[in-house]
Amino acid sequence: MNSDDIRKEWNSKGSKYASDVNKMVEFGETNGWDNWKGEEPKDERDHLSDVVFQLLKDANKNNTVDAFRTDFPPAHSPMVKFMQEKAQSIQQLHFIDEQKIVFLVGKGHQKRQAYLLKDSETIELDASIDAIGKSKRENVFAIVSNNTIVTTQGWEGEIMATFNLDEAKNLGITELIPFNDGQKILLITSDGIFIITQDTEKMIHPLPDPEDEEWEPYIDMENATISNDNKYIVVGDQCSDHRVLDQNGTMIGEIGPQSSYPDFCLFSKDDSQLITNSCHFYNGVTIGVAASDLQNIEIPAYEESEQYTIIDEEMRVYCGIATSKYYILGDAFGYIRAIDAKGNCIWRYFLGSSISGITISDDEKTLWVGSSSGMLHKLQLNNGLRDDHTIGTGKHYEEFRLVIWKDEPILKW
């Protein structure tokens, strides 16, 4: 096959696959999935993946990526065979300014590598960086390196505080969130969730079992958040309800899961609502609670209640952000969805693999999304579709995606 034949087959089969999936999903959501009797569409381009991947490498070497992107719109399914060997999780994405973000490659207990992405240029950062966090407000960054956390006012700005880890040293960090004043840190690990100050390291979750002499604080699906005004902390894990705490870590309420395992929580941008997600396999339920009700809240697990609003009944949420209009949540199936505080899905957009990190520009026009496939996507929101290979209802223009795979150079597609 010559390259022109490959291009034609890639495009004809890619656009048909996207169209078929979009029709199936629209039918399922309109008429109920139980009524769908058709076959699930198949992306029949696996046999093209080797040559297309080589052409992508050539385009990056020859600086012809834009032309390649026009000829070969990106796809997820045909590249899965590479991902099975080479994929890495793209996590801890944080917006800096203009078209610049920072992100990490690798999971908590792995040796990670931090990068700065400026426009489309990727800059490798100091190899000793283990984790990076950003406050909900006031533009405070926190960098962990050699068991020391440093908070700065802005990226590479003036140092605000330094924290030397002791009890929490050498732990794989799932996430960290500096408080807005830069003087405290919420540190989330699978060995416990801590509030770190310059003088103390207080484990606030899980709670010790006084009757178990061999109790260990190891947890799965550890997750936590802080309200934007830093008044509330919410913590949870696979075996615990979402516990609502005050800013000092004292428990003031509890929110039970409406699916099986609590695995995500987030406040709306204006702090009027808290959402919590619990999952079962790749699906889940997200509920919303009025933040004004958090003091002494008690929501039982698996019970309908007027105390909460159902936000979504499909997604196992891995990560998310709150914008001024809605939440953008990333799920286990590779979708990002915009859902408002009443549970209306505004749009959905497929990227592929479990979504592992997400951040948005301050003007809410540019979205960066990382996945466990080793892909980092840059989307210009509501800017019109770039091609007819897009799966979803969001009219977003993918400026590019970075392919960040083991034993490969970083490729732009």
**How does pLDDT run across 269-288, given as a tens digit for each residue?**
999 999 999 999 999 999 99
- What percent of the chain has a predicted confidence (pLDDT) above 70? 100
Which pLDDT does position 165 carry in this prediction? 98
Going from the N-terminus, what domains does the chain have, and what CATH number goes with each?
Answer: 1-88+352-413 (no CATH), 89-351 (2.130.10.10)
Q: What's the mean pLDDT in 119-132?
A: 98
pLDDT at position 1 is: 77
Q: What pLDDT does 284 receive? A: 98
Residue-wise pLDDT for 51-101, tens only, equals 999 999 999 999 999 999 999 999 999 999 999 999 999 999 999 999 999
Average per-residue pLDDT for the chain: 97
Average pLDDT over residues 181-188: 98
pLDDT at 2: 87
Q: What is the pLDDT of residues 3-48, one digit of tens each?
A: 899 999 999 999 999 999 999 999 999 999 999 999 999 999 999 9
Taking the mean position of all CA atoms in its chain, how far away is CA 398?
17
What pLDDT, in 10s, does the model give residues 209-222?
999 999 999 999 99
What phi and psi, each to the nearest 5 degrees, are found at residue 11? -75, -40
Lowest mean pLDDT: which of 19-23, 105-109, 358-362, 364-368? 105-109
pLDDT mean over 363-368: 98
pTM recorded for the entire structure = 0.97
What contacts 412, CB < 8 A, 6 or more positions away? 60, 65, 120, 400, 401, 402, 403
